[in-house]
Structure 1
Amino acid sequence: MIRTFIAGAAAALFIASPATAQSAQERLDARYDRALAAGYKALMLCSAISIAERNGTTRTPESVHAMELTGIYPKLDPIIRDLQYEIVRRPSGQIAHVAVAWAEDMPHTVAVNYGVDTGCSVLPPGSPEDMSNPGAPMEGAVEKAVISNIGNDKAGGDLSRQLNGTVSPAFDGTYGEGTRTSAVLVVHEGAVVERYAEGYDAHTPQRTWSVAKSIAATLVGAAVMSGEHDVQDPVGINYWRSGGRSDMRNTITIDHGLRMATGRYSDTPGNRTDPLYWGGTTVDERATNWPIVHKPGTVYRYANNDTLMAVKGIEEWLIHYPPQEFFAKLGMDHTVAETDIRGNYVLSSQVWSTARDLANLGQLYLNDGVWNGERLLAEGWREYVSDPSGPQPEGTQWGYGAGWWTFRRPEGNAFEGIPDDAFAARGNRGQYVVVVPSRNVVIVRRGEDMVGTRFDIAAFTRDVLSVLNDK
């Protein structure tokens, strides 16, 4: 049965003003926004609830509406919560799909739960709902055990007392008015302190957003470690070639993709990839075909598509060694890397993980790529990803390495109290993993910050380090 979150609410209007006052383009754009909002809602409900249940905890549609579906992109925010939806489950109780109604003359937009280790994918508009085959069982355990090597609880008690005056303010808006912190976890010399907001716990997954880019860089490091790839390898798209000449895009390397320096055009700042994320298109359809406007390796342009090209460079390796295998080695059993409908990993954003799992990721880098005595990342990989040696972003104190942000730029470090070797994964809505090798510290902050609010991770990092320095 199709439901709407707001009781008794009718479907939102297709347009914001009378049709006679709108041009054909405005009507088309309004319809497009509704289509994207439907995909956004279907995927968020499907992923948040099904992956939480996979991890042995729960999320309700109401909690997803209150957190993931509030304070989002301005064009979609007024639309998304009123869209009617239906959650369809298999006989086992696992979610088969989520369907969202958005147009009277179009089928519902559907996000399908394809498996416990690959999460949900949005189908193209117009796809039939029964593509999820809801009557069939889905293999795989519903609950995974927590496996963590991030520290010990006894030592964590001392650390908790030391950091209480710093960690608690992370939840009350001290580090950003209006921010909504869901989890904070700090690891220091084997001790751990973690705190959660009401409704969240150690099993609760959240979308990593662009922290996934740092996870992508980590998987590239594993592929390099295998000996099957090198960062200077061409991505291998194999565009036009004729008479000894070639499309310059053929010179794009994995390194260029990781450093946001492929030289390709992107149509919006930050390279919004809504058709891929919410519209049911695929990586191949959306991310690979943009034209080149700069020589690769010469200009920085933050782009989801660049990370997806780096991943494209190791896609054959990922067929044989999927992300879930790597996560299992790290004890990241509550992490799911989702794909598009053709099985391409959307590792620019579409990963769901917990604070503990992300702390394990940070600890891997503290260990210089070694986990439980096994080298998982190529030797020197930490220095590679945290070296801002390529072209750099403008208008910010942050530098950029290879899939990770750095607290220093080539010209120096503007962040007082934060060591030069510190680097971070950063994602939309306040997702952060900070690694400080010289201080043996990992800091994870999860949130659902609304548009217009921002958690000051640099100030929080500085304050945590200051307390630990006084230890």
Structure 2
Amino acid sequence: MIINSIRMGLVASALLLSGCNEAGYPEHLQVQRIDQSDFQALLIAPKTSEEAIPTVIVLGGSDGGLGGAKATAQALAEEGIAALAVGYFGLPNLPETLNSIPLEYFDAALNYIDTSTQLSRNQCQQVPVIGSSRGAELALVLGANFSDYGPVMAISPSSHVWGAMGDTKASAWTLNGEPLTFVPRHSKPDYSAQRFVGRGYFQQDLQHADAAAARIAVDSIQAEVLLFAGADDQLWPADEMAQAIQTQLATAGLASRVTTTIYPAAGHVIAPGLPSNLTEATLGNSQTIVLGGGPEANAAAQQDILRRAVAAIKNPVCFDSKSSFNNDKLGELEQFLQTTGTSSMVLMRAGEVVFEFGDIHDKHTIHSIRKAMLNSLYGIYVERGVIDLDATLAELGIDDSTPLTATEKTATLAQLLKSRSGIYLPSAATSKGMLAAMPPRGEFKPGEQYIYNNWDFNVAGAIFEKLTGESIYTAFHREIAKPLGMQDFKGRYTTIDDDTDISQLEVDGFYQYEPEKSKFPAFHFRMSAYDMALYGQLYENFGVWNGQRILSRQWIEQSTTSYSLTNRYMDFGYGMLWNVINPNDKRPHRAFFHTGVGIHMLGVYPSSDLVFVHRVHTETDYEFDQQNLYSIIGQMFGALEMPES
């Protein structure tokens, strides 16, 4: 390790002296010290009568004990999570320093959780783990070597294994009694400097060829990976190492598993619960260790990390993408597709097409899947503060050819997106099936009942254009199609009438007015199967594309949460402009999809790293039996082969 044990230990002491080891806890938290011969930890959890509380393992950094870890654990406990802060050196019955720590030691933490009546693994049968600095390195190493941990959350992380503290020839970690390969020390730190900045020394050592052997095998992590780093980290180059991890996973075809968040003005100490003003630490010899960042930037990063970590812990994604496709069965699927009337189909993983059928670049109408396309635009403009989902139709000045009642005008924009407005009026592009399912006007108040209703969706599109001042198609092209590199969607649009031959259109979208029903048009999208698959991949990536965040993870989770049960037998629901496959005892993971006239489909299956698109050329005469779509889906999943355990 570049910075020696004395200096790292004193930095840890500075953390404690700065207030993250304060005595006493609020009454609404239960705190239990675990002092066993082979295990040292502190459990901080909310007081609750629930049988199973979401549980996370928290790992501190260079202090190794419980100081920094318990501060983060308390912050998580305040959010309704049971946090087990685990000490791994510098405590009774443990090694004195960070030197040759057996990774098997952390089995005791898993065992403690597994034998507890209140603590539990998540639905992926994993335990989330979060660590900072050397604790982040440890979290990634644990995830890379054991399938029990996930999601893996690394704050101020390392892409490589580093050496022991105070012993340049020893490894910090061992596995099966053997030391893990670590980055050898080549740089020569100037420990006499009055203000010591470690970042450059780590950068020098990472540039040596022998550092490659110490790279953490993050592509072996069977869980979601969340990386958080400050660009002004002066202790080590956490931002560069986080980006290196992201590149490593992308190269392995696992880009959808990692979310990297870089905070431009933040430093090294950005773990929730730690003092945000810890930008440097003064040692006993009056030497200053520079940590970087500023109090405001560090605090903002800590708040954001806490929010993202809580969401990942409470809503984990279970991955099985170590599976592969059986080529013989895909061949059988292709033969079946030739008999069905399918025009095109795409299976996509990590942005790559792994199976295709037909002309996947042929554009035609996507029907009701248009609603899922609108979802991303709402997510972007809600995040920007342009759109308020709690705004009512009265506040937005919305009325129709058939005037709305005072009660109907109390419906919120969020209720429109959930198709729970309680407004049952004629609308453009309404099918006979929709009309047959429509209750009498006034039977339900806003928010009381889910009714799949084109009035809600058409008005949601009109409100978007009113609040943003531009066409849906123009916004979609700029905000979504161009960043994703869609090949076929160009943002061109028109308005059709009853005489328009849609099959002759070259545009990407069109408005359909039916003024005898409503003054609000339906907004239709014409897209290729390939571009639709890219769109699904954006959601598969939790809103990140090529390292840039386009949609917030919070929005994706919010809009793909089921607010209405739509199919009790299948346990399907409706979120906001997405159908949701709810997790249950038979399937521990959530997926989401949208269909068009029952035969087009865009499906996103995060647990399988899979996006599915099925198309039928419905702008021309066609024949397709809806039952065949179910057979296609069954054969698709039947072609997946799980690895042997």
Normalising by structure 1, we get a TM-score of 0.52
Q: Deviations over 1:110-139 (max 9, x none)?
A: xxxxxxxxxxxxxxxxxxxxxxxxxxxxxx
Change (3 A) 1:468 1:394: closer
Amino acid at match of 1:323: F
1:324 offset after TM fit, Å?
1.8
2:642 aligned with 1:470: yes
1:265 offset after TM fit, Å?
1.3
d(CA) in 2 for partners of 1:187 and 1:434? 11
| Partner of residue 196, structure 1 | 357
| Partner of residue 559, structure 2 | 385
Cα pair 1:213 1:349 within 8 Å, conserved: no
Q: Deviations over 1:285-317 (max 9, x none)?
A: xxxxx9654211111111122111222332231
1:360 offset after TM fit, Å?
0.6
Matches within 5 A, 1:166-205: 167-173=333-339, 179-197=340-358, 201-205=359-363
1:332 offset after TM fit, Å?
2.3
Which one of the candidate residues 474, 477, 486 is aligned to 1:332? Answer: 486
1:378 offset after TM fit, Å?
2.8
2:468 aligned with 1:317: yes
Q: Deviations over 1:233-261 (max 9, x none)?
A: 33455268xxxxx8122222221111111
Q: Deviations over 1:414-437 (max 9, x none)?
A: xx6x66411112112621111011
Cα pair 1:233 1:253 within 8 Å, conserved: yes
| Partner of residue 386, structure 2 | 228
2:374 aligned with 1:374: no
Q: Which has the larger strand fraction?
A: 2
Matches within 5 A, 1:42-441: 161=327, 164-165=330-331, 167-173=333-339, 179-197=340-358, 201-235=359-393, 236-238=395-397, 247-266=406-425, 271-272=430-431, 292-315=442-465, 316-317=467-468, 319=470, 322-326=475-479, 327-335=481-489, 336=491, 338=493, 340=495, 350-390=524-564, 392=566, 398-408=572-582, 412=584, 420-428=589-597, 430-441=599-610
Cα pair 2:419 2:456 within 8 Å, conserved: yes
Cα pair 1:269 1:302 within 8 Å, conserved: no
| Partner of residue 242, structure 2 | none
Aligned residue pairs, count: 287
Change (3 A) 1:360 1:232: same
1:322 offset after TM fit, Å?
2.1
Please identify the structure whose Cα radius of gyration is greater.
2
Aligned residue for 2:538, secondary structure, equals helix
Change (3 A) 1:340 1:249: farther
Amino acid at match of 1:203: H
1:379 offset after TM fit, Å?
3.1
Of the structure 1 ranges 432-441 and 224-233, higher mean CA displacement relative to structure 2 is found in: 224-233
1:203 offset after TM fit, Å?
2.5
1:385 offset after TM fit, Å?
2.0
Q: Deviations over 1:148-169 (max 9, x none)?
A: x9998xxxxx858365235314
Amino acid at match of 2:530: R
2:606 aligned with 1:445: no
Change (3 A) 1:260 1:393: farther
d(CA) in 2 for partners of 1:345 and 1:318? 16
1:465 offset after TM fit, Å?
3.1
Identity %: 24
d(CA) in 2 for partners of 1:429 and 1:399? 16
1:194 offset after TM fit, Å?
3.6
Aligned residue for 1:261, secondary structure, equals coil
d(CA) in 2 for partners of 1:230 and 1:351? 25
Amino acid at match of 1:460: I
d(CA) in 2 for partners of 1:330 and 1:222? 15
Aligned residue for 1:332, secondary structure, equals coil
d(CA) in 1 for partners of 2:398 and 2:523? 26
d(CA) in 1 for partners of 2:251 and 2:426? 41
Q: Deviations over 1:314-370 (max 9, x none)?
A: 223151862221222222241257454799956956100011100111000011111
d(CA) in 2 for partners of 1:205 and 1:255? 31
d(CA) in 1 for partners of 2:608 and 2:564? 26
| Partner of residue 281, structure 1 | none
Long gaps (5+) in structure 1: 1-148, 153-157, 174-178, 241-245, 275-289
Long gaps (5+) in structure 2: 1-249, 254-323, 400-404, 434-439, 498-508, 513-520
Q: Deviations over 1:31-77 (max 9, x none)?
A: xxxxxxxxxxxxxxxxxxxxxxxxxxxxxxxxxxxxxxxxxxxxxxx
Cα pair 1:167 1:184 within 8 Å, conserved: no
Of the structure 1 ranges 432-441 and 376-385, higher mean CA displacement relative to structure 2 is found in: 376-385
Cα pair 1:225 1:376 within 8 Å, conserved: no
